Chains A and B, each alone.
Chain A
Amino acid sequence: MENLSGFLILGIATGSLYAIAASGLVVTYTTSGIFNFAHGATGMVMAYIYWQITDPEGWGVHPILGLVVVLFIVAPLFGALVERVIMRGLQDTSLVTKLVVTIGLMVGLRELVNQVLWPPAVRPAAKFFPGDRWTLSGVSVTAHDLIGIAVAILVAAGLYLLLYKTRIGVSMRAVVDDRELVRLNGGRPNRLSMFSWGLGASLAALAGILAAPIVQSTLQVDPLTIFVINAYAAAVIGRLQSLPWTFAGGIIIGVAQNLAVVYLPQTEALTGLRPSVPTILLFITLLVLPQTRLRTHSLQRLRESVPHSTLQGTLLMTAVLMAAVALVAQVSDARMVLDLSRALVLCIMILSLVPLTGFAGQISLAQWTFGGIGVWVAATWISSSNPLSLVLAALVAGAVGAVVALPALRLQGIYLALATMAFAVLMDNLVFKQEWMLGSSIVVDRLPGLENDKVFAIFLALMFGLLALFVVWLRRGPFGRRLQAMKDSPAACATLGLDLTRTKLEAFAISAAIAGIGGVMLGMLKPSVGPNDFLMFNSLPLLLMGVVGGITAVGGALFGGLLLGAFPVLARVLADVPVLPELFLLGPALAGISLGRNPNGAVNEITRSFRDRNEARRRRKELREVADVRPEGDGVAIGPEAPAHAGDGRVLIDPLDEPEWLGIDRPFTQREVQALNEALDLKESDLDVTARS
């Protein structure tokens, strides 16, 4: 290979950018404990902002000045703001919540750029010193490439100096070891987190801006985001801790990717292979990563509660849902029926995450990928108008789910999420696009009798109901107990004889099987389906809205799916109203991000507020029973407002009415506090109950 050294240089140049991006990810992860899935999207957004500032079509500022503004002002502010507003609330939440919030941010940034700020158009991505290029053993190397390498070296040196030679760096390393201890010793972990998020965003921006012209000659949202996501592989090689290994990992990936150009045959089937090299390396790294030791004392009190659905409730839900769908289908137009059907398919897809994420606490970012496999099996192996095709789709998707999960099962949490994401991206790039697969779009016949769209909508409601009943039945039985027990304490399960690997495998298989059925449903709904229906990016909102709805209960899947389906409809219906449509398109992301404040999901919150009210009512009744005798005076009685008087000094209370309890149902007013103070002979400051809440 005479041009090997040229490709090597190019590889190191690409790798340098991966290294820069990955180092930002590692810095934020180690100091805040949150793996930022939105890191790639951050880099992408910053590249757009840089374009806006510097491009002649934008504001035309000098590139160097623009670079300084983005790297040292915009990106750090953005990172710090994200930490302060979104991430800080996540300290005592589960891994699923943490992941979902950053995925929400990722989806949000992507939609924000696509739909609101920079709708698709041609935006040339300029290289630095575009004229300067040299030919090195047959390969053209530009000044831009060399700048990337130089910048990576500077970043590496800078990070070393920061972490080992400055006070703030030492504190950052201390936060990694023990956050609480740093606080006790007078450090400020929150401020350090903010700093590290600012630094991380800055590094993402640097990588994004430098990568933009290398990825494609114009700015493109998804390729740019994926480019920075590729850097996650480097961070994993560094085991999310070691910066030297992260840098090495970046270079390895860059070089491997460029050498793939030289050594891999250029055939049709392998066109997707080169961009997939980082993902393949990520997969391999995850496979050889040493197994994480089972940790004990994993039991910490999280803010999440875990409510469960009942069989009766689910049965009722199914009946109501079918009736409601039938009603809506009767009164609305054809388009609305399709929208509703689409939402119901989304419900089924989210339902597939309930056993996996809700019960077992595992994460999959590849649900639509399993759906794609299901639809392919149902439509091409046998005719999809044969009901058996559904069973077959579920079986094959389930089997693939198990095979994918098998190597990943030794992994936990983030690594498992990354492995499923890598699998989804590989399927997008390498398999789904193939002619024999979904490349030439396939048409999926409906089951006989379902040709009418209205009937099909009701059928979808029935499918969701049946699958939901199955999931609830699982939860109520030994298998559900196993999953829940494994989520609560893997160490205890193992020492009681439970095979964790096998249990996780079963959870993955069941989840993938349901997703496979969901895929077939999508196929039956749409005139035809192709690779774009099953992209990794499509699977992200499923997890988002599932967790937003409440992923531990099937009602949460219903809520999340309907909401996810409603957003684009609302955006369309309200297209003439300013701002609102954009807001609705950002809906899933905003909902996901808001999860940090309310990690239990909407359905759980609602049912809990009902339960709490009943509980409060019961308590009040008890209180009344013990204290139905109350002195009467001119002041204020702490008790029901406007009590009935018996005349003999006792206050009578009708146990059936629901009086308002001062200080319990609502805070005291200032006047009441004064009266209380007088009655109890207190000074103003002694009883200042209103001021507290």
Chain B
Amino acid sequence: MSLLEARGVTVRFGGHIAVKQVDLDVDAGRITGLIGPNGAGKTTLFNVITGLQDTVEGSVSFDGREISRLAPHKRARLGMARTFQRLEVFGSLTARENILAAAEFRNRYASARMSAAEMADIVLEIVGLRSVASERADSLPTGQARLIELGRALASEPKLLLLDEPASGLSEVETDQLANLLVRLAEAGLGILLVEHDMPLVMRVCQVIAVLDFGSILAQGPPEQIRQNPQVLEAYLGSHRH
């Protein structure tokens, strides 16, 4: 049984079907990539999993538990955390306070293994934000703001990490560091669902890749297989036949 299992998830915005009958598994200890053209429904799927978006049909279970009806904060407490494609940092708090706040949220509902302050300092170190720890979050460039979001998610000690384009806005060096970090986190047992447009990064770190196109899963499999899948090529590069 996978850590996260989405079955037959369908989302409708008015007449438009944003996500159609999607099945998706994310395993613990592995990085699952979710790729697809803009507007394919990747972020909507994230919103469904984290509870920000209601579904028309389908179910989501996490860690063996049906969570489709749970409020977002209750799902988070079961051990999932996410980042946002369009940043949602706490702009008026410092970088450290952002991460500290997340650690404190967690300490309020779970027995703490360490104090929130200790956790915040460790996470700052991990994501490489120590030098800007006391800068206000809304004064930092996009790349570092993304790292704050990642750090915040980590500070909540999740089992499942949902990352929505974490590498956009990062420099090449930073992207490289991010890749190493993600691999290490997966090795430590975390399940990671990664939405990303940086294909070299996706191909490098993911064990499984799911391709979403017009709201449906087009293909699913290991990177080598996805790279050669004609349907995927068509979705990305456009049709060759017309």
A binding-site residues for B, Cβ under 8 Å: 293-294, 296-299, 301, 306, 478, 481-482, 484-485, 487-489, 491-500
Contacts and interface: CB of A to CB of B under 8 A. Distances in A.
A482 B72 contact: no
Interface residues of B, number: 39
A497 B152 CA distance: 11
B20 interface: no
B93 A488 contact: yes
B101 A485 contact: yes
B92 interface: yes
29 contacts: A293-B53, A296-B47, A296-B86, A299-B89, A299-B91, A299-B138, A478-B101, A478-B104, A478-B116, A481-B104, A482-B104, A482-B105, A485-B90, A488-B89, A488-B90, A489-B89, A489-B90, A489-B91, A491-B52, A492-B149, A494-B51, A494-B73, A495-B80, A496-B102, A496-B105, A496-B106, A498-B73, A499-B73, A500-B73
A489 B104 contact: no
Nearest to B98: A485
Interface in B33-88: 47, 50-54, 71-73, 75-77, 80-82, 84, 86-88
A296 B93 contact: no
A215 B80 CA distance: 57
A297 B105 contact: no
Contacts of A489: 88-91
B11 interface: no
A463 B77 CA distance: 40
Interface of B: 47, 50-54, 71-73, 75-77, 80-82, 84, 86-93, 97-98, 100-102, 104-106, 109, 116, 138, 149, 152-153, 156
Given A481-B104, A485-B101, A494-B73, A296 B156 contact: no
Contact of B73 (A301, A306, A497): A497
Contact of A299 (B51, B88, B109): B88
Given A298-B88, A488-B92, A500-B73, A495 B106 contact: no
A481 B73 contact: no
Nearest to A359: B92
Contacts of B73: 493-500
A494 B76 contact: yes
Contacts of B109: 497
Contacts of B76: 494-497
Contacts of B104: 478, 481-482
Contacts of A298: 88
B105 to A, nearest CB: 5
A631 B71 CA distance: 69
A484 B100 CA distance: 13
Nearest to A298: B88
A499 B50 CA distance: 14
Contact of B105 (A296, A491, A497): A497
A490 to B, nearest CB: 9
B153 A496 contact: yes
Nearest to B75: A495
A296 B90 contact: no
Nearest to A487: B92
B64 to A, nearest CB: 19
A496 B79 CA distance: 9
A478 B115 CA distance: 12
B50 A495 contact: yes
A293 B44 CA distance: 13
A498 B87 CA distance: 18
Contact of A296 (B75, B88, B138): B88
Nearest to B107: A478
Nearest to B149: A492
Contacts of B102: 496
B77 A497 contact: yes
B50 to A, nearest CB: 5
B192 to A, nearest CB: 16
Given A478-B116, A496-B152, A297 B86 contact: yes
Nearest to B82: A495
Given A492-B84, A497-B109, A481 B52 contact: no
Nearest to A552: B92
A335 to B, nearest CB: 43
A497 B116 contact: no
Given A298-B88, A488-B90, A488-B92, A293 B52 contact: yes
Given A484-B90, A494-B71, 14 more contacts: A293-B52, A297-B84, A297-B88, A298-B88, A299-B89, A478-B116, A482-B105, A484-B93, A488-B93, A492-B89, A495-B75, A497-B77, A497-B105, A497-B109
Contact of B52 (A299, A301, A495, A497): A495
A296 B52 contact: yes
Contacts of B50: 495
Nearest to A297: B86
Contacts of A299: 86-89, 91, 138
B164 to A, nearest CB: 10
Task: Identify which of A301, A489, A498 gathers the most chain B CB atoms within 10 Å of its CB.
Answer: A498
7 nearest CB pairs, A to B: A497-B76, A297-B86, A494-B72, A492-B88, A488-B90, A489-B88, A306-B92
Contact of A301 (B47, B82, B97, B138): B138
Contact of A493 (B91, B105, B153): B105
A274 to B, nearest CB: 39
Contacts of A306: 92
Nearest to B80: A495
A299 B100 CA distance: 20
A497 B92 CA distance: 20
A481 B149 CA distance: 16
Contacts of A494: 51-52, 71-73, 76
A496 B149 CA distance: 10
A671 B82 CA distance: 60
Given A296-B47, A481-B100, A484-B92, A495 B72 contact: yes
A201 B124 CA distance: 54
A493 B109 CA distance: 14
A482 B101 contact: yes
B156 A481 contact: no
Contacts of A493: 73, 105
Task: Identify which of A478, A482, A497, A499 gathers the most chain B CB atoms within 10 Å of its CB.
Answer: A497
